[in-house]
Structures are given as structure tokens and as C-alpha cells.
Amino acid sequence: MVFKIKFEKEKCIGCGSCAATCPDNWEIVEGKAHPKKTTLSKIGCNKEAEEICPVNCIHVEEE
């Protein structure tokens, strides 16, 4: 199974919730969140990052 992360950077407010929840794949770069990988074989903590995002700009979908 493959998962794809779709990230709406323009909506990101840079709060860091995703990076705090899922530091394995999320980091803050120049004041905005940034996924280290957008295609994943395991969903890991990315679903939690999607759920905790206050502006709903992270979308994890099964490909």
C-alpha cells in the first residue's frame, strides 16, 4: 500500500503541530511546514499530523 501526502503550503500558518506530532516526516522550513517525503509505504504518524493541523492543509491519501 502506498500513501501520498498532499500539502497546501499557502494555507499553512507555521504553528509546528505537525512537526511536533510527526518529526520523522515534518519540519518547519522558513516559517512553514514541509514534508520530508510525500510518498510513503507506511502512513506512520502522518495521519496524526493531518488530524492535528488547525488549518486542515495536510491531506494523507491512499494511492
pLDDT digits (tens, 9 = 90+) for 3-55: 999 999 999 999 999 999 999 999 999 999 999 999 999 999 999 999 999 99
Sign of CA dihedral 41, 38, 27, 57: negative
Q: What is the CA radius of gyration of the chain?
A: 10
The CATH classification number of 3-62 equals 3.30.70.20
The pLDDT score that the predictor gives to residue 17 is 98
Query: Residues 6 or more apart from 62 whose CB is under 8 A from it?
Result: 1, 2, 3, 4
What is the domain partition of the chain in residue ranges? Answer: 3-62
The pLDDT score that the predictor gives to residue 46 is 98
